Amino acid sequence: MLTKRIEDALNVQVTVEAESSQVYLAMASWAETLGFEGVATFMYAHSDEERQHMLKLVKFINERGGHAKVSELAAPPVSFGSFKEMFQNLFDHEVKVSKSINDLVDITLQEKDYATHNFLQWYVSEQIEEEALARNILDKINLIGDDKGGLYLFDNDVKQLITLPGAEI
């Protein structure tokens, strides 16, 4: 059974994950309008993944006697300047999500809710991967700089992150 404090904190995380899905979706749409099919495909897939993270939380809250709530979401930006700015934004967003997860884990320890603590370890591991992936992509974009040919190759390479899970560019 969830305490009210844990239920409320988990519901905040539901919103964080839903907004993450929306951010990735906005990035996908923006990249697609610029003709970057690979980046768009990558972002659409990540949008779906973030929605699955949200649904996993919803199910957990409800199964543990709480009530998962669907809340209003903040609208994400519709344009991102450059790909470097977009991926920096993505990295910064993932760092923010990691902090939110860590804060939630801290609450579970304070409340001595070890079942929820155990459940959240999957999210802790997932955020380590998400931050590393975003940092790796940002490093590649920084190496490419303003080289249009490099951006074209990057767009093709980033598609592989979807078709070959676990692959690195």
CB atoms inside a 10 Å sphere around CB 47? 19
pLDDT for the residue numbered 165: 43
User: Which domains, from first to last, does the chain contain?
Assistant: 4-163 (1.20.1260.10)
**Which range among 16-25, 27-36, 122-131, 160-169 shows the weakest confidence by mean pLDDT?**
160-169
Point out the least confidently predicted range of 6-10, 72-76, 162-166: 162-166
- The DSSP code for 114 is H
Nearest Cα neighbor of 161 from 44, 65, 66, 33 is 44
Q: What is the rounded average pLDDT of the residues 10-35?
A: 97
| Tens digits of residue pLDDT in 67-126 | 999 999 999 999 999 888 999 999 999 999 999 999 999 999 999 999 999 999 999 999
Separation of alpha carbons 38 and 152, rounded Å: 9
For residue 169, pLDDT over 70 is answered with: no
| Mean residue pLDDT across the chain | 92
pTM (2 decimals)? Answer: 0.90
pLDDT of residue 153: 85
* Helix 83-110, helix 4-33: angle, nearest 10: 170
